[in-house]
Structure 1
């Protein structure tokens, strides 16, 4: 794929955006290691999500910045170490036959110093804990690092997921707490399989149960469904294939899922979250376009993956910053103004968008080489 772009103006543009994406992410990384979701957006400012941050850390790791990604994993480890007693209490409650409330569970987002948010949020989401396990193992394997550096936090995440993996919770988009979401189960599966060689807990048994549950209840019309027992699709479902491996690339289920997401949610390179999405009118999300492109690249459709990367690059503003979503082909345009009135204009830059761009650019082999200083740990 590089040969077709060799030293062209377009290759320069794509590499420049990779450099800028690295700069945006590292500029806004908190001194303690957290990656803020978006540094200026009213509803996200001052908070870090494990889901957003783990994908962002993977992009930074792929770019070659070992130190920045390591600081993020250090931050998560510290946050989870301090949650040891909370997880032990939750597990003890379950052992007594009690059902902890959603409010008692670990949050999905943290302040930069690792505390809960002070304002109400849709906080009970388990995917980020599985996602972090996958991300920290992947980063350590890439650079030959010892996982013992993060072992205490890893054990907290594992204990939490083993106890609560099958409990309904909010999805990636902080909606539908009443359901068990396939993308959430995929993230937990990927994290448990990745960490299995490094922990004493029997996490592979849990992973096998997750896969069996999804096969039994999470497939409709030959594709993965948004939640168990449903039939709709979601733009996050490709993650169950790449990177989490709940469904292996090349399986018929993988191909049908990608084709259905592309048919129902993708237009001109942009990918919607789901058909009923009214958030800012239901625009096209940069990070989901990159996720689909990542899957296309692994499946061997590098031309299709490059089209996704080009589309993403076209959405950067005059400063080179990538937003959360763009208002092309809005699914529900009548709802856009109410969100602008509530929270202001769309989050820009969204660090997760920049992190996913780095992942896809690296997958296609066009990421600019990071400075040697960036690679020092």
Structure 2
């Protein structure tokens, strides 16, 4: 089983099925029956045997030149491969109402003489999430290859006659006739072969491949027969579905054609990265399932999803947000909080501790959705959830500092009483207070507002540093014993506490590292106005210390080493939004344009941009990146933006 690439260039799907492909059209991950679990393939690829050269050429090979794009306003992916006198158009899409992946290959001979090839399709599967313990079975009655493991089934078939097949080690099938007559074998690898008639000059031949997923043989076979009956219309039916999705989109005045392209692609991406069964959003398609450099991404975080939900509301899809919050209400822990992250089926995912900004963000988001929609039925349904969450947050306050008790920060790196976490809890408690007042629970409204006001006062009196000219990133930062001793030797203050087992925990009183997350004190949680002197000084320091010296864009914090310490899309857009809110639209526009310039060839936004190559880095698409893009478009489209931008640009001249 070979190592999969970390970076995804394209995705297709339908909310039950999520497929990741690279820019050469090869597929490496297929998640089903939910978009975060289980990965059913190791790779799916195609090529042909050229009888003239006696070579097998795979379309994703380095000899080919590749061009890739989405059919406009759809999630139909088109990859064009060119090599010598061959042009192959490859189309990939997933049916909206059936869990079937359609792959179409149109082979054109551009030479001035006739040629003959045999197309082959390789399936290297991991049905049920395991590369072993599965069976490949070719049924000549249905002309289908079935691959199955327990209740996970895949069927590979075509409307074209399958000339032959091979089950076994794919390294053996590079020859045009490797068959040994075996139709059933407990092996994950197999190939299908299609003989073409002679292809005349400028003529083209086409083959469609269907990959259906289901829970038994009958289910996947029914899907295959449906596709064969509807072969001529499948793409148009799918395209029409995505056209209808975009018809609902909220439109904003800001930006040119490329902005609108990425905005639409963001909406289409939200629909692909929202699980159809649960209604929850994941952070991105998985690219690091073995946790080589991270803790994985195909999970649902309350932190990300609060931004994502706000963006989906802004884009004009409140029903999706309603469904999301109603689902995660059922995930709330008995104590009133949410764990750090979840699988889309509601099971708690692997995590590394309490991250209190998650609970604060969810309560803020519930109230924000109510403000955006005025949906009183939603408010009534969510009120018990809000009430339980607010009680938890009220009790999660450090009486010494009036800040939320130590927990993980939003980057999941440090334990402490973080300013961003405090802002999220402030936003959650203010939202809960306003909802309590609407419910006639005035005592609760007053109590919860007081908690929020006390957090704001603590940020003003204990976290603001006049000496630094910025808010501190955190108080009570947990550190290792060696870091603690070094800090004390430098004159910094700290203390030691002991847990219930008597183990010492070392704390420094202040974490004064500049961090983009400090903008959260203004956006989205509105602890302080954008024009507040302290916010402005903090933002200026962030821009000075976090702008990448290599390619521009904004890094998370100085000294960041994660995936090389690159500028991020969300951080750059976060500063752009703040610039707009603080009356600097031209500077906001420049940051926004940097982001547009670093979308990939399909309009997808990565988590990071490689500071050396300026290419997309790490997870792509990152749902949070697309959410910040939509939110930035909304902010920059405010009524005064155009006039203010023109005036600001004129002043700069």
Q: Shorter-chain-normalised TM-score: which range? A: 0.7 to 0.9
| Alignment correspondent of 2:15 | none
Matched, 1:217 2:447: no
C-alpha contact (below 8 Å) 1:38/1:44 kept by paired residues? no
| Deviation for aligned residue 1:293 | 1.0
- Other structure's SS at 1:172 match: coil
Q: State how 1:284-363 maps to structure 2 within 5 Å.
A: 284-328=567-611, 346-363=618-635
Question: Once the two structures are superposed, what CA deviation does each residue of 1:204-243 show, in whole Å capped at 9, x if it has no partner?
Answer: 1111221122222212222111112232211111110122
Distance in structure 2 (CA, Å) of the matches to 1:161 and 1:115: 22
Matched, 1:196 2:433: yes
| Alignment correspondent of 1:38 | 284
- Using the TM superposition, name which of 15-24 and 122-131 deviates more: 122-131
252, 270, 278: which one pairs with 1:25? 270
Distance in structure 2 (CA, Å) of the matches to 1:300 and 1:324: 27
| Deviation for aligned residue 1:276 | 2.5
The structure with the greater share of residues assigned to helix is 1
| Alignment correspondent of 2:516 | 235
| Alignment correspondent of 1:59 | 311
| Deviation for aligned residue 1:62 | 0.6
Question: Once the two structures are superposed, what CA deviation does each residue of 1:248-290 show, in whole Å capped at 9, x if it has no partner?
Answer: 2211101101111111112365111111211101111111111
Matched, 1:246 2:527: yes
Distance in structure 2 (CA, Å) of the matches to 1:316 and 1:274: 22
- Other structure's SS at 1:180 match: strand
| Alignment correspondent of 1:258 | 539
C-alpha contact (below 8 Å) 2:387/2:432 kept by paired residues? no
Structure 2, unpaired ranges of 5+ = 1-251, 289-294, 398-403, 476-509, 639-653
Question: Once the two structures are superposed, what CA deviation does each residue of 1:329-372 show, in whole Å capped at 9, x if it has no partner?
Answer: 69xxxxxxxxxxxxxx7111110000010000111129xxxxxx
C-alpha contact (below 8 Å) 2:338/2:358 kept by paired residues? no
C-alpha contact (below 8 Å) 2:419/2:463 kept by paired residues? yes
Question: Once the two structures are superposed, what CA deviation does each residue of 1:106-127 show, in whole Å capped at 9, x if it has no partner?
Answer: 421111122211x4x3231000
C-alpha contact (below 8 Å) 1:20/1:320 kept by paired residues? yes
Question: Once the two structures are superposed, what CA deviation does each residue of 1:295-331 show, in whole Å capped at 9, x if it has no partner?
Answer: 111111111111122111111111221111112169x
Change in 2 beyond 3 A, CA 1:140/1:7: closer
Q: Give aligned pairs, total.
A: 323
Question: Once the two structures are superposed, what CA deviation does each residue of 1:136-161 show, in whole Å capped at 9, x if it has no partner?
Answer: 21121112112113122212221221
- Other structure's SS at 1:16 match: helix
- Other structure's SS at 1:271 match: coil
Change in 2 beyond 3 A, CA 1:16/1:232: same
C-alpha contact (below 8 Å) 1:122/1:175 kept by paired residues? no
| TM-score (norm: length of structure 2) | 0.47
- Using the TM superposition, name which of 352-361 and 204-213 deviates more: 204-213
| Alignment correspondent of 1:173 | 411
Distance in structure 1 (CA, Å) of the matches to 2:375 and 2:414: 38
C-alpha contact (below 8 Å) 1:55/1:352 kept by paired residues? yes
Distance in structure 2 (CA, Å) of the matches to 1:16 and 1:324: 19
| Alignment correspondent of 1:137 | 367
Distance in structure 1 (CA, Å) of the matches to 2:268 and 2:577: 22
Structure 1, unpaired ranges of 5+ = 1-5, 88-104, 331-344, 367-377
Distance in structure 2 (CA, Å) of the matches to 1:329 and 1:289: 17
- Using the TM superposition, name which of 161-170 and 266-275 deviates more: 266-275
- Indicate the structure (1 or 2) with the bigger Cα radius of gyration: 2
The structure with the greater share of residues assigned to strand is 2
Matched, 1:184 2:429: no
- Other structure's SS at 1:356 match: helix
C-alpha contact (below 8 Å) 2:606/2:621 kept by paired residues? yes
Change in 2 beyond 3 A, CA 1:269/1:76: farther
Kindly indicate whether structure 1 or structure 2 has the higher relative contact order, using CA contacts under 8 Å at least 6 residues apart. Answer: 1
- Using the TM superposition, name which of 260-269 and 52-61 deviates more: 260-269
- Using the TM superposition, name which of 310-319 and 191-200 deviates more: 191-200
Question: Once the two structures are superposed, what CA deviation does each residue of 1:39-78 show, in whole Å capped at 9, x if it has no partner?
Answer: 2232434410001011011111111111122221122222
| Deviation for aligned residue 1:17 | 0.4
- Using the TM superposition, name which of 194-203 and 45-54 deviates more: 194-203
Matched, 1:107 2:359: no
Matched, 1:160 2:371: no
| Alignment correspondent of 2:352 | 122
| Alignment correspondent of 2:302 | 50
| TM-score (norm: length of structure 1) | 0.81
Distance in structure 2 (CA, Å) of the matches to 1:227 and 1:128: 17
Distance in structure 2 (CA, Å) of the matches to 1:270 and 1:110: 31
- Using the TM superposition, name which of 219-228 and 27-36 deviates more: 219-228
